[in-house]
Structure formats: C-alpha cells, structure tokens
Amino acid sequence: MLDQLLDQKLGGGSMRSSWPKGHIACLSTMAFLAAATSAYPASAGEDQVAASLDDAAQLAVRAYEVPKRDVRVRRGETVTSRKRPELDALGVRVGTFLVYPKLSLEENYSDNIFADADNEVSDFITRILPSLRIDSDWGNHAVSLEGGADVGRYLDNTDENFEDYHFSASGRVDVRRSTKVRARVRYRALHSDRGSPDDERGVEPTQFDIFSVGVNGFHNFGRVNVTLGGTFDKYDFDDVATSDPARPFNNDDRDRNEVEASLRLAYEIVPQYEAFVRGAYNIRDYDSAEDDNERNRDSDGFDVVAGVEIDFGGIVFGDFFAGYKIQNFDDPDLDTVQGPTVGADITWTVTPLTTVVGRVSRQIRETTRADASGRFLSSVGLSVDHELRRDLLIGADARFLHDKFEGRDRTDLIYQAGVNIKYMLSRYFYVSGGYDFRMREGESSTDDFAENNFLIRLQAQF
C-alpha cells in the first residue's frame, strides 16, 4: 500500500527515483511505523488497523516530499554571493566579452553630516552611481575593465557636494594549470569622510586620488604553493579651502608613495586545510622632506604572520593568522609603531539560507596629526545575512574599532551597527534600504560624535 501511494504521489516514481534509496527506505519506514503505532490501540479491530495503515502511508509520503526550491549550498557559497540565474544580470555580449551596465539612485538622510560633537547638522544627500564592467569570456586567461562614479548632492549644505570616480583594469595569465600571474591597475578620485581623524575641517571635504598597481604570481608544487606579490600606491591630496580664502589648509605634506613586496608559502596538510606563512616589506616615501609640523614621515617596515586556511565542507571556511608588525620612521622624534597583528575572515553557513561572517584585523595606518607617528587600528566585526525568499535578503552587522595614535595620548573607540534589506524585483531592477549608526569616543569630548544614517536605493542593470 505504501509503495502504491508513493508512486501515485510522486508521478509514477519519476521524482522518487531521484532520491537515494537508503533515504527513502529510512524516512518512509520511520514515518510509517511512528504513525501506525500511535494511530490505534492494541484492541483495535481489522478495519481500524487497515484505516490506520492507510493514514500512516499518507504521512510517510508527506515525510519526504521533495521541496520546490533547491537550497543546497555549494562549497564556499554565501547568501550574498550565491548565483541566482533568474535574477542575476545577463550582460550584453560583444564578441568574446560581456558588458554589464548599472545605474543606482540613492537617497540618504544623515542627522550629523559633519560628524561634529556639538554642532549637529542634518541633511538629505542624493547620490547617483553609474558603473560599467566588461569581462572576458574565454576558456583561458581573463581580462576585466571597470569604471564608475559616485556623485553626491546635498539638499542644503551644497559645499559638501562631491564627485568621486574610479577606473580599473585587471587580468590573469594562465601560464599553465599550476602557474598563474595576475595584475591590476586602478585609479580612484575620492573624498575624505568627515569622521576621519585626519579631516582638516575645511569648508569643503578633502579631495584626494590614489593610483595603484599590483601584480602577483602563483605556482603550485603539489601540496606546496608559493605566491609572490608586489604593490605600488601613489597618494595625492588637494589643499582644502578655509573661511579665509588666502589661507587654505596645506595637504601637500600628505602626498606619498607606498611600495610593498610580499611572499606567501603554503602547505596543504589535508584537502581543504592549508597552513601558511607570509612576510611583507614596505617603504613609505613622502614627497615633502618634512610635514607642516617639521616631521620627516618617511618610513619602512615589515610584518611576518603564520596562519591556516580552512574549509569544513563549505559550511565553515576562511582563514586566520597572527604575527608581528613594525614600522620604523626616519625621524628620531617619531616613535616606532610595532606590536602583534592578527587577522581573520571566517564564514559560517548556519543553514542554506543564513550566513554569518566574522572578521578581525589589526593594521598600521598613516597620519599627519601632530606628534603622532602612526595609528594602530584594530577592528572586530560580525555580519549576518538571511534569505527570506529567493528574491528578498535581509542583513545586520556590527563592528568595533580601537584606533590608537602612537606617540600621542589619544585613543578613539568607534562603534558601528546597521541593518539592511534587498528586494530583487527582476534581473533588471533591485530595491534596497538600510540604517547605519556610528559613534566615536575620543580622549577629548571634541573628538566625540554620533551619527544616524537612513538610505534607500533603486538599482537598474542589464
């Protein structure tokens, strides 16, 4: 009776045949026996028993009916990175390339646009974000070109308007299956956030641009692999106007070049479990011999770390490392910045529909604050993303930052939190929204601020 009901419910066994036989036998037998045992007492007659057996068979069918939506998780896949063929942009094919145009319109409301402790000013900000990406569609090698802009317009405080943009080109050469070379060139025109500790508090945001070049080579010697890389970054800061047009803030002393070379050696202990060591050496060369505080900020430094990269069946994956970092300055009056460094980026797929990501980092950052040689910035963050429906995602995140200024009695504590939602109406149109909160507590009350930001975004893509 049970087999007949199963075949009838599952289309003559066509769908049933796709299930592993052991799963079918186990699930159906458990459901059948459980239902049959509880359905009638020991004194029941033959008619009662037959009716109960029929009910048990129906319950067994429902116990392993195939779900309509496939929620199996591929290795390394998260809720936000998951491919959704029915909702992802198709792009426009041009020969052997795919072109992906996108345009977003965003409306923000901030209750403290200047990140000020006392003079809190609120405003609406409209942002227009066009972008274009071109990817190759080749069997070997790869090339990608990308460009975009972020144009912001304030409703009342028009001096805060900004026009950021970026361009990049990247590529990969597959020398052989075990050897790959990657390179990237990027240019970015940006503006400093008002909450930055290096913000000069001018009448306009500080504008700057960064030109970057990076290259790395990877080779696999079986269970051992080697990655050799190098980066070059050139920073150029514009002067900032003040209330006195004749006396702008000078930012030329922040212009610099940063060069870094790194080597990573890794050993695969078992499949999906890799141990590695990495070392890096950097040089930071400022254009000005001295800054406005008569300090020579040229420096060099290194960091050495050891860690592991793990992947437990695609459920928990990521890497963790720890080591030591040091930055020495040419000026003897600037303290050496040194100390332990850690880093982690761990993803946990709690269920096929929920992803949790934890991140930890500790980095040395540049600063031109008087008497401070640098900043040791430590951060801990956690984010959760959940797929309510195939086309509806929600998320939340929280982050804590400890910003220590070396050589100066200042430590900032920064708290950030936010929630977001994304609705994919079709492959061509998305709607998203969110709320973000951030707060800084400094050594002085003038360094403190809190800000609430609300946003809604409309996105069109092809």
Comparing CA positions, the residue from 155, 251, 246 lying closest to residue 206 is 251
Q: Contact 92/462 with Cβ under 8 angstroms?
A: yes
Looking at residue 178, its pLDDT comes to 94
Looking at residue 16, its pLDDT comes to 42
Return d(Cα 299, Cα 313) in angstroms, integer: 43
Which helix H or strand E contains 26, and what residues bound it?
A: helix 21-39
Looking at residue 217, its pLDDT comes to 98
Looking at residue 371, its pLDDT comes to 78
Q: What secondary structure does DSSP assign to 32-100, as a single string?
A: HHHHHHHHS-TT--HHHHHHHHHHHHHHHHHHTPPPSS--PPPTT--TTT---TTTS---EEETTEEEE
pLDDT in tens, 63-116: 333 333 344 567 778 999 999 999 999 999 999 999 999 999 999 999 999 999
Q: In 3-state terms, what secondary structure has residue 429?
A: strand
Looking at residue 63, its pLDDT comes to 38
253: left (phi over 0), alpha (psi -120 to 50) or beta: alpha
CATH of domain 92-461: 2.40.160
Comparing CA positions, the residue from 352, 460, 427 lying closest to residue 128 is 460
Per-residue pLDDT of the chain (462 residues; tens, 9 = 90+): 444 444 444 444 434 433 444 444 433 443 333 444 444 444 444 454 444 445 544 444 443 333 333 445 677 789 999 999 999 999 999 999 999 999 999 999 999 999 998 889 999 999 999 999 999 999 999 999 999 999 999 999 999 999 999 999 999 999 999 999 999 999 999 999 998 888 877 889 999 999 999 999 999 999 999 999 999 999 999 999 888 888 888 899 999 999 999 999 999 999 889 999 999 999 999 999 998 888 999 999 999 999 999 998 889 999 999 999 999 999 999 999 999 999 999 999 999 999 999 999 999 999 888 778 999 999 999 999 999 999 999 999 999 999 999 988 889 999 999 999 999 999 999 999 999 999 999 887 778 999 999 999 999 999
Q: What are residue 401's DSSP bridge partners?
A: 379, 414
Amino acid in position 342: V
Return d(Cα 433, Cα 165) in angstroms, integer: 23
List where CATH 2.40.160 sits in the chain: 92-461
Question: Does the pTM of the predicted model rise above 0.85?
Answer: no
State the chain's mean pLDDT as an integer.
86
Q: How many beta carbons lie within 10 A of that of residue 103, not counting itself? A: 15
pLDDT in tens, 398-407: 999 999 999 8
DSSP assigned state of 149: E
Q: Is 365 exposed, middle or buried (0-12, 13-18, 19+ CB in 10 A)?
A: middle
Looking at residue 73, its pLDDT comes to 62
Return d(Cα 135, Cα 98) in angstroms, integer: 5
DSSP assigned state of 168: E
pLDDT in tens, 296-350: 999 999 999 999 999 988 899 999 999 999 999 999 999 999 999 999 999 999 9
